[in-house]
Structure 1
Amino acid sequence: MSEKSDFRWGPATGVGSMPGGDAREAARTVTGSFEGPEQGMPFLAELPARGPGADMIGRTAGLLVDLYARVEPSGWRIGDRPGRDTKRARSWLGEDLDALEEFTQGYEGPLKVQAVGPWTLAAALELRNGEAALSDLGACRDLAGSLAEGLREHIADVRRRVPGAQLVLQLDEPSLIAVLRGQVKTASEYRTHRSVDRQLVESALRDVFSVIEDGPRLVHSCAPDVPFALLRRAGADAVSFDFSLLTERDDDVIGESVEAGLRLVAGVVPGVDGPLSDPAGSVMGVRTLWRRLGLNPGSLADSVVLTPSCGLAGASPAYARAALAHCVRAARSLADNPE
């Protein structure tokens, strides 16, 4: 069997973002909640509350090689040279890595790192004329290439810091469906950019995924209508999504994807403060889906990883800790009682 097929995901993980601005506290929470394959998969926490450069787009823009971005009133815009926004993004990422390294001394097991995928990045980053990079397919190719090179360096850095880790690369693509359907608005907001050919979308994702040939690849989206089949063809080994957004029209493609080996990373716990149901109640929908698809109940725990429905940046620190712990308990319930 290949190294990837032997990989132990762990039963639960988080999406990526955490509340507050204390990197050490976030790393302590994440590593304490998921201590390895039996409990779950820790991850490099993101703390967008710190401001521009710690947000999803700015953090990934700081990873780019030979492309730089700065904050404008309209958002992040590609520039000629690294400025204070790039430096701030890289500094915060360094703090997060230092904290992760501190709390993973001697750790061996799965570890997830996240970055914005090439198409959501192209929809969010502006060119010098103020239009999204998505408006220029040549710019999209350059952006994907720069992202791939930056991720290659980032992954090598994480491996040096946590040598016992088995890395998973997560690409966040919440805008992917809008890109495919031509729903991304132009700068004027009166028109939308043209839809991008599905083969081009797959190709760019495949190129970025190539930076981690020996580890699993994961795509996350909190948006409706996640394109499971496209992502699997592009090289994703798992897809992370908000389980509450699934409809029965997704059944066929999900069933085919699971049977083809795709792992489902199901967001079943609310990402903002509120009452938590009992663990068995949190996974009732997952069991119902499995029965509806006619899949073997015994494969359920091996095919599904549980997470919050999206990032936890909007939650309180206490709730974030409780939500991650709840994912672990719900996964245990799923494994113990698959039917």
Structure 2
Amino acid sequence: MNAVAASGIGSLPGTDVEGAARAVRELYGDGGLPYLVELPARGPGADLIGRTAAQLTGLAVDLQPAGWRLTDAAGRDAARARAYLRQDLDVLAEVYDGYTGALKVQFCGPWTLAATLALPRGERVVSDPGAARDIVQSLADTVVEHLQQVRRLVPGAVATVQWDEPALPAVLAGRLPTASGYGRVRAVDPNVVRDGLLRLTETVGREADSQIMHCCAADVPVPLVRQVAGLELGLDTSLIRAAQWDGIAELVESGRRLWAGLVPTDSTARHPRQSGGRTANDAEPDGRARYESFHQHVDPFVGQWHRVGLEPALLEQVVVTPACGLSGLSPAEAQRIGRLTVDAAHAIRDLAER
């Protein structure tokens, strides 16, 4: 394990790719888990769906007023998305020249992609089992090629793939509206979802050192993740229901890491050694203030960890992240949340070593 396991979700504010990449390497590149930055503010094609859809091997997409859809020929928005990613990879090669260690890349997961992309006639891809299978296979091939390219650009990288699946709970529960808005897309059988994830992770596992399913929505399907061998879990810890903790405990005890979104991405986040309006340059607050702030962000998680019988040493398998992406914040706020994440990871590590 890294000495301090901390990382980000991927998305950041602004349009300065090089500045964002250098900030991420500076923050997480010494013992943490840096990542390929995503800057959605650049426009269509830099967003989660467009960024992934435009790269799909053997499939073409274009952008319509209702969103991204499969088509016979790629549109100019897809071309722009591919150009954005080429720029990001060029910057990655420059910023991570000589780097050796963990490096994370993010893609939209297959079920969120199938839930969001439209078929040519307008319905969601997830409503067509054959089309959904095509998405899984194309995405697997796409990411294998992407990881090979990343390894050529950064030969010392140990690759981790994050699959972003914010829509997966809705896919499983049948909560997605149809194109007309008057009905709901039929829920996808959990076994079908599991089998798709298995095919995807087995293929990508040839190039990736580890893979994570990240979902910052409520009702993360923890039992399903446990059925996909080796797949790690990332989630917003504030949304974990009591009934989910046993499944999380089993996942951790199986040797997998938990990517814990401990640091909220709103103004309630405070430094573990900071209270109220203090800054890092102020005098150290008293013990009570430190405890209250620590309790707010780390203690509830660690307390539940102990209540389900997990050993303190297993906290070494926790990677601390923000609760979700940071694209909606100002650059200064995103930097602050990033520093808090590293500080929270230090706190978790200290508890693991006691």
Same fold at TM > 0.5: yes
CA offset digits 1:164-187 (Å, max 9, x no partner): 000001100111111111111100
Q: Could you tell me how far 1:262 is from its partner in structure 2?
A: 2.5
User: 1:299 matched to which residue of 2?
Assistant: 314
Counterpart of 2:337 in 1: which secondary structure? Answer: helix
Checking the alignment, whether the CA contact within 8 Å between 2:7 and 2:320 is kept in structure 1 is yes
CA–CA distance in 2 between the matches of 1:329 and 1:241?
19
Q: Could you tell me how far 1:310 is from its partner in structure 2?
A: 0.2
Q: Could you tell me how far 1:104 is from its partner in structure 2?
A: 0.7
Counterpart of 1:96 in 2: which secondary structure? Answer: helix
Q: Could you tell me how far 1:9 is from its partner in structure 2?
A: 8.7
User: 1:246 matched to which residue of 2?
Assistant: 240
Counterpart of 1:102 in 2: which secondary structure? Answer: helix
Counterpart of 2:61 in 1: which secondary structure? Answer: strand
Which of 68, 86, 110 matches 1:94?
A: 86
Partner amino acid for 1:150?
Answer: T
Checking the alignment, whether the CA contact within 8 Å between 1:9 and 1:110 is kept in structure 2 is no
For residues 220-239 of structure 1, the aligned pairs below 5 Å read 220-239=214-233
User: 1:284 matched to which residue of 2?
Assistant: 299
Residues 330, 177 of structure 1: CA spacing in aligned structure 2 closer, same or farther, 3 A cutoff?
Answer: same
User: 2:290 matched to which residue of 1?
Assistant: none
CA–CA distance in 1 between the matches of 2:87 and 2:158?
21
User: 2:333 matched to which residue of 1?
Assistant: 319
For residues 1-339 of structure 1, the aligned pairs below 5 Å read 8=2, 10-36=4-30, 38=31, 40-209=32-201, 210-213=203-206, 214-273=208-267, 275-278=269-272, 280-281=294-295, 282-300=297-315, 302-338=316-352
Higher mean Cα deviation, 230-239 or 71-80?
A: 230-239
CA–CA distance in 1 between the matches of 2:225 and 2:3?
19
Checking the alignment, whether the CA contact within 8 Å between 1:19 and 1:315 is kept in structure 2 is yes
Checking the alignment, whether the CA contact within 8 Å between 2:272 and 2:343 is kept in structure 1 is no
Partner amino acid for 1:82?
Answer: A
Cα RMSD over matched residues?
Answer: 1.5
CA–CA distance in 1 between the matches of 2:335 and 2:314?
28
Checking the alignment, whether the CA contact within 8 Å between 2:10 and 2:38 is kept in structure 1 is yes
CA–CA distance in 2 between the matches of 1:236 and 1:226?
17
Equivalent residues, number: 330
Q: Following superposition, which runs of at least 4 residues in structure 1 exceed 3 angstroms of deviation?
A: 7-10, 272-275
Give unmatched runs, 5+ long, in structure 1: 1-6
Give unmatched runs, 5+ long, in structure 2: 274-293
CA–CA distance in 2 between the matches of 1:148 and 1:80?
20
Partner amino acid for 1:288?
Answer: G
CA–CA distance in 1 between the matches of 2:338 and 2:271?
13
Q: Percent identity?
A: 45
What TM-score does the superposition give when structure 1 sets the normalisation length?
Answer: 0.93
